[in-house]
Amino acid sequence: MDKNQLQDLKILSAKIRLDVLKMLEKRGYGHLGGSLSIVELMSVLYGKQLRYDAANPKWEDRDMVVLSKGHAGPAWYSALAEQGFFDKEWLYTLNDGGTNLPSHPDRLKTPGVDMTTGSLGQGTSAAAGIATGFRMKGSGQYVYLIVGDGELNEGQCWEAFQYIAHYKLNHCVVIIDENKRQLDGTTKEIMNPFDVAEKMRAFGFHVQKVKGNDEEAIDKAIDCAKEVEDQAVCIVLDSIKGSGVPYFEQLAGNHSVKFNNDEILGANHEAIKALESFIEGGSELCTD
Look up the CATH number of the domain holding residue 127: 3.40.50.970
The arithmetic mean of pLDDT across residues 85-103, rounded, is 96
Instruction: Give backbone dihedrals phi and psi of 148, rounded to 5 degrees, phi first.
Output: -85, 155
pLDDT in tens, 111-129: 999 999 999 999 999 999 9
Query: What integer pLDDT is reported at residue 288 of this predicted model?
Result: 46
User: For residues 85 and 56, what is the distance between their CA atoms, to the nearest angstrom?
Assistant: 8
Instruction: Report if residue 262 sits inside a domain.
Output: yes
Domain tally, the chain: 1
Q: How confident is the model at residue 105 (pLDDT cuts 50, 70, 90)?
A: very high
Instruction: Report if residue 207 sits inside a domain.
Output: yes
CA distances from 4 to 9, 36, 198, 215, 216 (A): 9, 24, 35, 13, 12
Q: How confident is the model at residue 282 (pLDDT cuts 50, 70, 90)?
A: low
Q: Answer whether residue 140 shows pLDDT above 70.
A: yes
The arithmetic mean of pLDDT across residues 162-170, rounded, is 98
Instruction: Report if residue 287 sits inside a domain.
Output: no
What is the rounded average pLDDT for all residues in the chain? Answer: 96
Query: What integer pLDDT is reported at residue 1 of this predicted model?
Result: 87
**What is the share, in percent, of the chain residues with pLDDT greater than 90?**
97
Instruction: Report if residue 134 sits inside a domain.
Output: yes
The arithmetic mean of pLDDT across residues 136-157, rounded, is 97
Query: What integer pLDDT is reported at residue 144 of this predicted model?
Result: 98
Which domain range does residue 39 map to? 3-279
Instruction: Report if residue 285 sits inside a domain.
Output: no
CA distances from 194 to 33, 191, 229, 247 (A): 22, 9, 28, 27
Q: How confident is the model at residue 284 (pLDDT cuts 50, 70, 90)?
A: low
User: For residues 16 and 23, what is the distance between their CA atoms, to the nearest angstrom?
Assistant: 11
Q: Answer whether residue 224 shows pLDDT above 70.
A: yes
The residue ranges of DSSP E strands in 61-183, in sequence order, are 64-67, 143-148, 172-178, 181-182
pLDDT in tens, 30-48: 999 999 999 999 999 999 9
Query: What integer pLDDT is reported at residue 168 of this predicted model?
Result: 98
Instruction: Report if residue 288 sits inside a domain.
Output: no
Instruction: Report if residue 286 sits inside a domain.
Output: no
User: For residues 103 and 97, what is the distance between their CA atoms, to the nearest angstrom?
Assistant: 11
